[in-house]
Chains A and B, each alone.
Chain A
Amino acid sequence: MSLQNTDKVTRREDPLWGLLPYLSAHRMALAWTVLVGLANNLALVFLAVTGSYTVTLALVEDELADPGWWIAGGAAVLLRAILTWHEMDISHSIAYRVLAALRMALFDGFSRGVPSRAPGQHTGRLAATAMGDTEKLEFFYAHTLTQLAGSAVLLLGGTVALFRIGGSLAAGLVLGLAALVLLTLPWLRTNARLGEEVQRAKADQSALAVDLLSGSREILGFGLQEHVQQQLAAATHTVARAERRLKSREAASASMRELCSLGILVAVFLAAWNRPGLDPLWIPAVVAGTLTLLSPLMEAVAVFTQLQPHRASAARVLEGISMPAEGPVLTPVLPFAAVGPLGIEIQGAGFSYGDGTTALEPCWLSVGPGEHLGISGRSGAGKTTLARLLVRLWSPDTGSIKLVPSAGESVDVSSVDPRVFRGLVTLVEQDATIFHGSLLENMQLAVPGASATQVQGVLGRAGLVLDAGRWPDGVHTMIGESGTSVSGGERARIALARALLVQPRILVLDETTASLDAATEAVLLDAVAALSGDTTVITISHRDSTLARCDRMVDLADLHSSPLSQPHRPSR
């Protein structure tokens, strides 16, 4: 029962248990898996008992067992085959469902917490590791967890059954298992450390492979092949050394488990022998039954020793799933139905990261309706933060940002209905994601009903002409398949086209041209310049050539001082 105790001690902080609430929708299916596994093991115990009993009966009493035994045995064989199949079937199914549930929960966590306020948190990297981790955890929740639960029940039932035959038998079983757990636990930490060592060595080896392949031109050019071979061999030896130590320890602990189970066998044997009340006919059956019962219990203990790496995975998944909400502060929604171009009034809006470091000093800025404004600034000044505040990915900690219609009341961005707001203001990021799928599907993300002609038109406006060589299926060309990954210039133009399709009244461009060559930059900026006075454009860039195309240029550093000294020129 010590298994259960250790569970309880660690349950509070253990991330493995922390993820359980996210799987609660599948608890009936999980419970069923436990039951099936249990029935499967019981059928096996029954078969072992039947076999020993019938043979002993023939030996001692010289008679063949009752036909009932043989029928029941045959039924158990069939049942066991069916249960084995069913158990694998449902545990695969559950594994997929667990995987899907964890992924969905991660999706929800990210939809709350991205972009994250924590400055050091690289959510993209967290996503990659957490997605890998869910695949490791899937087996734990679908199989290991139910296996542990089933074993606990089996242990309990087995102890009770043995106790009814004789207290010393039950005591032998429980004491033997307790000894096993006590002997196993001290090994856990070292095994976990060795496991990490192996992983590290393998990661280094993998990094080396990358280095070799990306540097192969130099290796060949200078004839360094000999050195490469030596280095590879050294990396292999490092991995092998770490693995050897781990495996020899694992073999030792497996041997220890086996010795414990032999010890239990001997103890049960002796206890049964010294039990005058027990018919000797049954002793081999009891021994065989106990032996069969022991094997799933031993496996459970073995599994228990291998949980450590899962904890780290669970912690990362949990981090992604339980990301704090970073969305805008909810304020009462005000009706906003202004027509015509919109201006922006930023009044002392500032923002700091979760740890208190300032991301954007309070700043003041007016942008006239229809104006094309360029914002420059040194890196780290908060240009991207400002862009995110403008499109309400974050809410400013201080000050406010207002939409200014050409006629009527201006209104705070946080009090506009979110759906309406997304149609009014949009942002093109430097690293905007182009999703796997067709070009058309990507564009339809922005406007679900967009037609192929519409999409082709808007792509053309953004400077992307779909020539047949590069885009064989036009707007239906799949992105990300057979080498059709998009280049930086194409990515920027597709993202811009996607934003234009929204027909926003305020368009924010955050370093959209940063990775473009001069010609592509010019094409893209032509498209932006062609937007009529209806669209207000805020272009954030460090490139003079990009900023030169704006009506007005400001440096972010000049916006922090006095709101009244800001030059405010009406546009055009």
Chain B
Amino acid sequence: MLVNRRLMALSLGHRRILHALTLVVCLGTASYWVQAWFLAHALAGLLPGQVHSGAQVAGSLLAVLGCGVARAALQQVQASLASALGTAVRLELRATLAGALLRPERLRDNSERSGARRLALSEGADGVEPYVTAYIPHALQLQILCPILLAGVATLNPVLAAALLAAVVVAVGAPRLWGRLLARRSTTHWDSYEALSADFLEALQGMRTLKILDVVPRFRTRLDERSQELHRATVATMRVSLADTALADLGIQAGLLAAAALTALHSLGALPSGIGGEPSLTFFTLILASEVFRPLRDLARQWHAGYLGISALGSIDAAIASDSEKPARAPAHPAPDPANGAGEQPTDGHTLVLEEISFRYGPTSPWLLNGATIGLRSGGITAVAGPSGAGKSTLFDIMLGFLPAGGQCLLDGRPMQPGDVSVVSQHSYLFPGTIRANLAAVRPGANEADMRGVMARAGLGAELAAWPHGLDTVIAEAGHSLSGGQLQRLAIARAILADRPVLLLDEPTSALNPELAGELMDFLRAEARYRIVVMIAHRTEALEAADTVLQLHEGTLRETIPSTSPETS
């Protein structure tokens, strides 16, 4: 009842660590019970008429300190187990997420959601960790230890145990009565608060514009008013929803006061007796009564961890959910035919025919591509132009076989296979490791000369000579060690090395200066003799360097002569 079932399921594969962790957490809490036993004896030793000697009291106090030391050791074990569990859960979750995200059908997501996907992969998985390693063990502890402790108190003082049970029920249950409803309402408020925060940021970043338009004071007043208004509304809502904390506290404190009263009455013989009677047992009962609430307080302290986990679930769901979406149409590529894949190279160049390519994102969305038809052959560079959002990237995804579209792509007269196409994105992915490993990943059989040759032709010859480790130079994580231009050329070298009949490039010169861009275009033109080279281009320099410019307009492709103005908007 306390644990989200789906988040609990994430830890199922690591049950043994979770059980060990829960056990250690419980042992840590139980050490307070032992401590209570010794403290009660020490306290009883102070009372007049007791038989305890000074040495006994000192011994009890030392035992109290010993409990503290034992707990310190337990906490180290707990930290280490929690880390092991957290690592295992995150590794598994990330692998699942990456598997779900890195699928062709996910490419159709628009850029707005890619922020959410990044969140799922990084912060989302991290947010699950505290839930699994802190919230769940403490929730389990509450369910295990509270009944045990209540049973223990019941043997000492049955009436007190009943009163404590009632207090626990109030403290745990009360917040749940209306919590859910109010949480939803305050979330709405929180959302508009976030929106205001975004507006503030925008104002700071657009301050020059505000100054030029002479609206700084007006804008300030407006933001100030909105912020105050929202504050009033939010506080009014929060005021009610915060009452649950007070109710939980009321349960705990009333329970403790009742414990004092019932313990006192018990020692006066006014209640049906358990086994208690001696002063030390009376004190022990009293301290145990307050220990009943420790698991409750511990869990309350993990509220933040619980919150993080639940909210992470949202982004994780968003990342995995649309996984279940089924393609609306059959893919333009039929199932791969191993006998008829890449590597087969006619000597007289290649031809690629796109026939009546149609695509839209959903059954009600407008057609992004509507019967686009064109024939291409190797020999020159083809550029695809068109306003942003016209569907240039979508066309690439269809050619790559990632998106299900109507019509067909025919390479040399047969249906094109995914293995026929190599691609260079605007943001290239190179994994950390040597350049050699990155190149070999796309063509395992490539030898040293192949790799050096393609690097040199992509304009990286000088760099390769300058790097002390040559092809064994390690690309640091996230590509930090290479410049944007070097990264782009390396990605192009990789795509050429893959040696596939069709090469697609998305803005290949965007990170290069004009001189390097010119060299790269020459290289691509040379490559175009062996394969079909198609690039998405915006910049006039790139469009001018192309031999054919295809204009993507209202879902159709038209060939234009490159030297004239390429744009119709």
Report A's interface with B, CB cutoff 8 A.
Answer: 44, 47, 50-52, 54-60, 62-65, 70, 73-74, 76-78, 80-82, 84-85, 88-89, 92-93, 96-97, 100, 103-104, 106-108, 110-111, 114-115, 123-124, 127-128, 130-131, 135, 202, 204-222, 224-225, 227-237, 239-240, 243-244, 247-248, 250-252, 254-256, 258-259, 262-263, 265-266, 269-270, 272-273, 280, 283-284, 287, 320, 391, 393, 418-419, 422-423, 426-427, 429, 432-433, 435-436, 445-446, 448, 469, 483, 487-489, 495, 498, 502, 517-520, 523
Contacts and interface: CB of A to CB of B under 8 A. Distances in A.
Given A110-B204, A216-B429, A217-B400, 6 more contacts: A51-B256, A213-B101, A218-B424, A221-B400, A391-B212, A432-B209
Q: Which of A229, A236, A243, A418 has the most CB of B within 10 A?
A: A236
Given A60-B47, A209-B122, A216 B64 contact: no
Interface string B104-128: 1011001010100110011101100
Contact of A55 (B267, B425, B538): B267
B138 interface: no
A542 B96 CA distance: 49
A81 B494 CA distance: 67
Contact of B94 (A64, A232, A446): A232
Contact of A258 (B71, B387, B491): B71
Given A81-B250, A127-B201, A251-B75, A220 B402 contact: yes
Q: Which of B43, B76, B224, B265 has the most CB of A within 10 A?
A: B43
B204 A127 contact: yes
A280 B46 CA distance: 7
Interface in B278-294: 279, 282-283, 286
23 contacts: A52-B260, A60-B49, A73-B260, A85-B242, A103-B197, A106-B204, A111-B210, A114-B204, A131-B197, A202-B122, A206-B122, A217-B423, A220-B102, A222-B422, A236-B87, A236-B91, A244-B87, A252-B75, A262-B65, A422-B214, A433-B209, A445-B210, A445-B213
B18 to A, nearest CB: 16
Contacts of B212: 391, 393, 422, 426-427, 429
B434 interface: no
B268 A232 contact: no
Contact of A393 (B110, B211, B224, B397): B211
A104 B429 contact: no
B98 interface: yes
B498 interface: yes
Nearest to A109: B204
A103 to B, nearest CB: 5
B363 interface: no
B144 interface: no
A255 B72 contact: yes
Interface string B194-205: 000111111111
B114 A213 contact: yes
Q: Which of A55, A96, A426 has the most CB of B within 10 A?
A: A55
Contacts of B389: 487
- The 5 A-B residue pairs whose C-beta atoms are closest, nearest first, are A215-B429, A433-B206, A255-B72, A127-B204, A85-B246
B215 A445 contact: yes
A211 B427 contact: yes
Nearest to A53: B260
B231 A100 contact: yes
B86 interface: yes
B567 A520 contact: yes
Interface stretch (B233-241, B322-330, B462-470): B233-241
Contacts of A216: 101-102, 106-107, 429
A212 B479 CA distance: 12
Contact of B428 (A62, A209, A218): A218
B566 interface: yes
B402 to A, nearest CB: 7
A64 B118 contact: no
B261 to A, nearest CB: 7
B431 A128 contact: no
A244 to B, nearest CB: 4
B521 interface: no
B202 A433 contact: yes
B220 A111 contact: yes
Contacts of B249: 80-81, 84
Contacts of B538: 517
A234 B432 CA distance: 10
Nearest to B118: A209
A243 B107 CA distance: 33
Contacts of B427: 211, 214-215
A227 B207 CA distance: 44
A128 B206 CA distance: 12
B418 A221 contact: yes
A136 B198 CA distance: 15
Given A54-B260, A429-B208, A483-B110, A212 B265 contact: no
Contacts of B426: 214
Interface string B510-539: 000000000000000000000000000010
A243 B83 contact: yes
B542 interface: no
B477 A204 contact: yes
B1 to A, nearest CB: 24
Contacts of A229: 95, 98-99
Contacts of B424: 218
A206 B123 CA distance: 8
Interface string B35-61: 000000011001111000000010001
A77 B68 contact: no
B540 interface: yes
Contact of A217 (B227, B425, B479): B425
B246 A81 contact: yes
B242 A88 contact: yes
B396 interface: yes
Contacts of B98: 212, 225, 228-229, 232
Contacts of A76: 253
Nearest to A502: B213
Contacts of A252: 72, 75-76
Given A54-B261, A266-B65, A237 B87 contact: yes
Given A216-B101, A222-B422, A519-B565, A419 B214 contact: yes
Contacts of B423: 217-218, 221-222
B333 interface: no
Contacts of A488: 388
Interface in B454-488: 477-479
Interface in B73-92: 75-76, 78-80, 82-83, 86-87, 90-91
A179 B109 CA distance: 58
A51 B61 CA distance: 21
Nearest to A258: B68
Given A60-B47, A247-B79, A206 B118 contact: yes
A423 B69 CA distance: 75
B238 A233 contact: no
B253 A123 contact: no
Given A92-B242, A107-B223, A262 B235 contact: no
Contacts of B48: 60, 280
A224 B112 contact: no
Contacts of A243: 83, 86
B155 to A, nearest CB: 18
A205 B122 contact: yes
A88 B245 contact: yes
Contacts of B207: 110-111, 114, 123
Contact of B569 (A212, A423, A520): A520
A568 to B, nearest CB: 28
B200 A131 contact: yes
Nearest to A104: B224
Contact of A47 (B204, B246, B257, B441): B257
Given A206-B118, A220-B402, A435-B202, A233 B94 contact: yes
Contact of A202 (B46, B126, B400, B428): B126
